[in-house]
């Protein structure tokens, strides 16, 4: 889900929530309610949320290494991982500004 009037200059992962703040689109997390409404179990949604937090929102180390080394698996995670492994001309939106001044 992308907020209205949000400028996006990078590719956005499936199921993401993106909002606009000053410098364009910022990844805030995943669309928990939308995924549950589409019939995904709470457990599957929570696993995806944890994967996105660990690899994209609060990563430790290199982004690509985090994706490769993560052992988390589910249908949703595998779909996001497959998207991340594609060649993205403009890069992937993976930042949040919570820690930035």
How many structural domains compose the chain?
Answer: 1
- pLDDT > 70: percent of the chain: 82
As a whole number of angstroms, the distance between CA 62 and CA 39 comes to: 33
CB–CB of 76/15 below 8 Å? yes
Global pTM value:
0.76
Q: What percent of the chain has pLDDT over 90?
A: 20
Using 50, 70 and 90 to split pLDDT, how confident is the model at 101?
very low
Domain extent, residue 52, equals 1-101
Averaged pLDDT for residues 70-84: 87
- Tell me if residue 54 falls in helix, strand or coil: helix
């Amino acid at each position: 889900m992308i907020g209205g009037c949000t400028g996006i200059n990078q590719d956005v992962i499936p199921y993401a929530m993106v909002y606009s703040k000053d410098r364009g689109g910022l990844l805030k997390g995943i669309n928990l309610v939308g995924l549950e409404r589409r019939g995904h179990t709470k457990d599957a949604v929570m696993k995806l949320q944890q994967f996105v937090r660990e690899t994209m929102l609060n990563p430790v180390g290199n982004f690509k290494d985090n994706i490769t080394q993560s052992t988390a698996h589910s249908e949703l995670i595998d779909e996001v991982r497959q998207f991340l492994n594609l060649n993205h001309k403009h890069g992937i939106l993976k930042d949040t500004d919570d820690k930035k001044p």
